[in-house]
Amino acid sequence: MRFALALASLIGLTQSLPVQAKDVELGPRPAWLVQQMADSPLKEKLHSCLGQPVKRTLFSISHRGAPLQFPEHTEEGYRAAALMGAGILECDVTFTSDKELVCRHSQNDLHTTTNILATDLAAKCTAGFTPAKGDDPASADCRTSDITLSEFKSLRGKMDGASKKAQTVADYLQGIAPWRTELYAQHGNLMSHKEAIALFKELGVKFTPELKAPEVDMPFEGFTQAEYAQKMIDDYKAAGIPPEDVYAQSFNLDDIRYWVENEPDFGKQAIFLEGRRDLDPMNPATFSPSMEELKAMGVNYIAPPLFALLTLEEGRIVPSAYAREARKAGLNLITWTLERSGPLSSGGGWYYQSISDAIDGDGRMLEVVDVLAKDVGVKGIFSDWAATTSFYASCMELQ
């Protein structure tokens, strides 16, 4: 009965039911991952925790909701992540044509993450659907800035994906990774930033909004980058959310510095997302600004992709030079993204590139988490399926 109520809340039948810590439900995946591990003291420890109560933890950060199985940045995905014990939920923040903030991974992803191309709003897209022809893939470009908040709310979220070989809109809207599922994709309720704040407050979790880089030129009809950064913070202030519950993020260092200087209560735990393309995580000489310089600017949290924090020494997964330098400078580390790579049988792909020689199956996933937690010392891990990080953190009694 308890499981039935939990499932009902996910698909919208009991939307008023708040998810409390005592209601955390992991499902079968953590146990399955433990079963894939080679015998080791870590496997024994994790196996001993199977079936034990799981507490909500800040170590477990929901990445875009629960996009392994739910449409990203939708109410259903957020509720699923909270049900799986995530202590922090993420709303990637961008804006509509009427300058209202909404949750979407990028300003120009509506054509792959919603049904816009199958609606009359397709006529408002920056570029409508073009079928594949010869070597040219099928394409479209639909942006939140193309439509109003009301129009945005009329759309339905879907699993992210598009078929580059499509000849029709219907075919284009498919193209979903085969290891994801559409079982829960019929109820993708899109959310404004303000609605997400209210939902996260109801769910009893903390907040990590990411200010997304605009695809339009700024200022946008008089809307400047600074006003955009301020508007995101203002939504939390208006909702009465304590600054210590908000971990604002951006890949743009200028955004972080703006918050540090103009909203210091929020800025002191703003997260600088690592996206410097000329940086070699194994070579500190390429770190510009250096870790010490970032700290001097007021940056206290930095978040690189997980491969930047890891390397191999004699076949063992160990902290990278990037990880060591960040810790030496006194920076708190958060990383991304677990459960986004699909099956790990062939090296794990982009997120595991620095340790691919040691990644030969899904049983390695919790080994990687263990190194990140114990040896690198990350404060939290973004995951597309929060049950995995929640299970590990609760078993290891992480905060």
Q: What pLDDT, on a 0 to 100 scale, did the predictor assign at position 217?
A: 97
> CA-CA distances (angstroms) from residue 134 to 50, 69, 315, 353, 378?
52, 33, 44, 32, 47
Q: What pLDDT, on a 0 to 100 scale, did the predictor assign at position 23?
A: 80
Q: What pLDDT, on a 0 to 100 scale, did the predictor assign at position 22?
A: 60
Q: Where are the domains of the chain?
A: 24-106+182-395
Q: What pLDDT, on a 0 to 100 scale, did the predictor assign at position 368?
A: 98
d(CA 273, CA 336) in angstroms, rounded, equals 9
Q: Helix, strand, or coil here: 315?
A: coil
Superfamily name and number for 24-106+182-395: Phosphatidylinositol (PI) phosphodiesterase (3.20.20.190)
- The CB density around residue 262, as the number of other CB atoms within 10 Å, is 13
Averaged pLDDT in 10-residue chunks for the chain of 399 residues: 38 38 86 98 98 95 98 98 98 98 98 98 98 97 98 98 97 93 92 98 98 98 98 98 98 98 98 96 97 98 98 97 98 98 95 98 98 98 98 94
Work out whether strand 86-95 and strand 101-103 pair parallel, antiparallel, or are unpaired: antiparallel
Check if the beta carbon of residue 152 is closer than 8 Å to that of residue 119: no
